[in-house]
Structure 1
Amino acid sequence: MSRFILFFSLLLLLSACGEKNKMRVSGKIENGEGKVLYLKQLNLSGEVDVDSVVLKAKGNFKFSLPKLENPTFFLLKLSDKNFITLLADSTEKIEVIANAENLSKHYDVSSLGSNYIQALNTRFDRTKTEVDSLMKIYNDTPKDEKELIEEVRQDLIEVIDNQKVFVRDFVMANPRSFASYYAVFQRFDDGTLVLNAYDKEDLNLFSTVATSLSLFYPESPRSEQLKNFVLNIRKEIKIGELQSKLKNEAQSNIPDIEEEDLNGKKIKLSSLKGKLVLLSFWASWDEKSRKENKNLIKIYNKYKAKGFEVYQVSLDRSKILWEGAVEQDKLPWINVSDLRFTDSYPARIYNVQQLPANYLISKKGEVIGKDLFGRILDEKLNDLLN
């Protein structure tokens, strides 16, 4: 009898030790009877099935996994549009209480990393709701109500800027957390990152997280991926700078641009060959650009009949803001954009570092001037066209 008790005690001890070396996700999903609850691991290559359970009347569930080598993202999922994102670490025991009708709307989770993810998603959902609301107001506003349109445009800029500030503050407060990795890669519905890796300030945030995670989690695939992401961006920027230098030296064989105007028509820069062209870069949110446009209109009207044309590229993210600025400033020339903000392809291949910026292109298609504004541009055009 004593041997049996000793054997049974050893089994209990081994079982307890085994549980200590596992990561566990358990809890309760209300109103989920009969539904299948999935636990999926989020790898860089996509979702990987881990386990599943058919929920019973009480909605209790429990998933156990081997000890995690690095912090890992998981989905607790009922469907493609009904899931919770979790961030688990090592042998963490995560408890989740949620409602099957909308898992992510209101849920409680006993995990610091998962709480961070919940806070990031809650804040971002609010931002997207505000953006959608402002876009509806814009679409419903008659075009002749210029003041209201401008007010909506400014509100939209403020909402997006506030979201970026929130992400930056979060990252600086939590550089060692994989939640910061999640934060820097948050995207709007159109796939655009909240942070722009080609912007110096934003790239520094990517670098901060990459450096911290590489130090504390050097074996993590995500640490390696983020480090390579930053290195590749820096490499692209250096290549762009070198290309710009070579272009300035050669002043010939300029790269072509083909982007859409406000009506969706694609227009090539090369289609203007035979004219004296000012390739101009601007953005609706940049005050210096808007001010310079007023000066450029006077110059354009003065030399248009003599073969002068403007091919202007907007570095906007939103077509609404871009269109509003074009209409408000009454810009009469060709205006195109790929709506990729400062990640704009034309801006990258021409190594635009600040706004406004421009290149003066001869009738033969050669760069003969750079960043010519106001009186200096006027004098240059007068020499060439008179």
Structure 2
Amino acid sequence: MKKLFYLLLISLAVASCTMQPTKKTTYSINVNLQGLDEGTVYLQQRVNGEMIKLDSADAAIPISFKGNIEMAEVYYLGIKDKRGSIPVFVEAADINITGHIDSLRQVEITGSPAQDELKAFNEQTKTFSDQLQNLYGEYRTANQAQNEELKGQLEKQMDAIQAEKVEFTFKYVTENKASIVASFIAYQNNYDFDLSQLDSIASGFDPSIEQSVYVQLLKERVATLQSVAIGKKYIDFTMNNTADVPVLFSSLIKGKYTLIDFWAAWCGPCRGENPNVVAVYNDYKDKGFDVIGISLDQSKDKWLEAIEADKLTWNHLSDLQYWNSAAAKLYGVNSIPHSILIDGEGIIIAKNLRGTALRNKIAELLD
């Protein structure tokens, strides 16, 4: 009898060791948008730049989505035939979204700690964003008045505030290494960091969030930028020219200093920079300087119209895939204008030289 009692105690002890609390992986999202009486609401996930529909619901009945998720991730609520979407940090929780159909940006999201963390961060950085927006308004006015002195002063102020914002963001993500929200913030702002900063961020997250989609994307971003860093040789690719003929990029490289210029007809800053590039090209094309334009356009007609209007007389390539441009992905381009300068051996020697910086560099090399 005593032996049986001890066996029972042992079995209970083993059970207490093995029956650990099960981690919750289910989420529910309840949506209540005033003014939304009909139509279809979609729950979407962004994968490789594309929105993938995960679920849908009829707006005529109470809208609710349920599913499983291992790690917190931003999903998007879209409404059929309505522009815009509602980003929401989805995690294993009961999440509620309330608001009005006509003000999707002002909806209230409760129940998600990750969403709360992101909201708090955005509130902390709002001061920077507001200051930059106000200064940019002043800059546009100064530009219209052709007040170059004031433009220069405003540019310095904007650069200083942007630098503060970047420093604040870098500090936040590096001090919150176990936060998936921090990895999301880092990825959303990756273009603000230089390669060494981005590498330290991507490699510094806690192992507990190693498999987060945002940590993985950051590591992929670092690998891409390392492959096209200054000192590396350009990467070859094939893309159609303006006559829809596939062209091997390397066939256009003629041993000259060559500016690889990523731009688009719809990009205002690109069009504003084009006269500078044209002027430098015209002055140095016979001395060993060339330009190859890579367009992120979607409309061929608008692409060709912009080439003619801006007098861009160099070679041009595009797959007309917008931000899914194969060349842009290859070179890690996520904002335009973006340029890469290579030497006669095809080695990358500079990036994003604009205005006088481009002219000064080419003059240094060829005068």
TM score, norm. by length of structure 1: 0.53
The match for 2:69 is: 68
The match for 2:348 is: 349
SS of alignment partner, residue 152 of structure 2: helix
Residue 241 of structure 1, aligned match among 231, 239, 243: 231
Query: Are 1:232 and 2:208 counterparts?
Result: no
Q: Any residues of structure 2 matched to 1:155-304 within 5 Å, and which?
A: 155-186=157-188, 194-198=191-195, 200-201=196-197, 203-204=198-199, 207-212=200-205, 215-237=207-229, 240-241=230-231, 253=255, 255-257=257-259, 263=275, 266-267=278-279, 272=284
Structure 1 distance, partners of 2:288, 2:79, is 60
| Structure 1: 5+ residue stretches without partners | 1-17, 188-192, 245-252, 278-338, 364-386
Structure 1 distance, partners of 2:135, 2:284, is 37
CA apart distance, 1:148 = 3.4
CA apart distance, 1:125 = 6.9
The answer to whether the 8 A contact 1:256-1:268 is kept is: no
Structure 2 distance, partners of 1:47, 1:258, is 30
* Post-superposition CA distance 1:11-41 (Å, at most 9, x none): xxxxxxx9x6522112432333335332212
SS of alignment partner, residue 106 of structure 2: coil
Q: Does the C-alpha gap of structure 1 residues 358 and 268 become closer, same or farther in structure 2, counting only changes over 3 Å?
A: closer
Q: Does the C-alpha gap of structure 1 residues 117 and 81 become closer, same or farther in structure 2, counting only changes over 3 Å?
A: farther
The answer to whether the 8 A contact 1:197-1:233 is kept is: no
The answer to whether the 8 A contact 1:39-1:74 is kept is: yes
The answer to whether the 8 A contact 1:27-1:96 is kept is: yes
Q: Could you tell me which amino acid in structure 1 is paired with residue 349 of structure 2?
A: Y
CA apart distance, 1:70 = 2.8
The answer to whether the 8 A contact 1:42-1:74 is kept is: yes
Q: Could you tell me which amino acid in structure 1 is paired with residue 258 of structure 2?
A: D
* Post-superposition CA distance 1:216-261 (Å, at most 9, x none): 2444554433223223323433xx33669xxxxxxxx553237685
Q: Could you tell me which amino acid in structure 1 is paired with residue 78 of structure 2?
A: K
Structure 2 distance, partners of 1:40, 1:194, is 25
Identity in percent: 13
* Post-superposition CA distance 1:171-190 (Å, at most 9, x none): 12322222223212336xxx
* Post-superposition CA distance 1:40-93 (Å, at most 9, x none): 12333522212222335xx8532111x32333221123366443212223x322
Residue 48 of structure 1, aligned match among 42, 47, 52: 52
Q: Could you tell me which amino acid in structure 2 is paired with residue 171 of structure 1?
A: V
Q: Does the C-alpha gap of structure 1 residues 84 and 163 become closer, same or farther in structure 2, counting only changes over 3 Å?
A: farther
Q: Could you tell me which amino acid in structure 2 is paired with residue 169 of structure 1?
A: K
Structure number with bigger Rg: 1
Structure 1 distance, partners of 2:366, 2:69, is 62
CA apart distance, 1:143 = 4.1
SS of alignment partner, residue 108 of structure 1: strand
Q: Does the C-alpha gap of structure 1 residues 231 and 139 become closer, same or farther in structure 2, counting only changes over 3 Å?
A: closer
Structure 1 distance, partners of 2:33, 2:203, is 36
Residue 31 of structure 1, aligned match among 29, 35, 46: 35
Aligned length: 262
The answer to whether the 8 A contact 2:75-2:89 is kept is: yes
Q: Any residues of structure 2 matched to 1:342-381 within 5 Å, and which?
A: 344-346=339-341, 349-351=348-350, 360-361=364-365
The answer to whether the 8 A contact 1:26-1:62 is kept is: yes
Computed over aligned residues only, the root mean square deviation of the Cα atoms, in angstroms, reads 4.4
Query: Are 1:22 and 2:26 counterparts?
Result: yes
Q: Could you tell me which amino acid in structure 1 is paired with residue 43 of structure 2?
A: L
Q: Could you tell me which amino acid in structure 1 is paired with residue 221 of structure 2?
A: F
Q: Could you tell me which amino acid in structure 2 is paired with residue 234 of structure 1?
A: Q
Q: Any residues of structure 2 matched to 1:66-215 within 5 Å, and which?
A: 67-78=68-79, 81-89=83-91, 91-120=92-121, 130-141=131-142, 143=145, 145-186=147-188, 194-198=191-195, 200-201=196-197, 203-204=198-199, 207-212=200-205, 215=207
| Structure 2: 5+ residue stretches without partners | 1-21, 235-254, 262-270, 290-334, 352-356
The answer to whether the 8 A contact 1:171-1:209 is kept is: no
SS of alignment partner, residue 165 of structure 1: helix
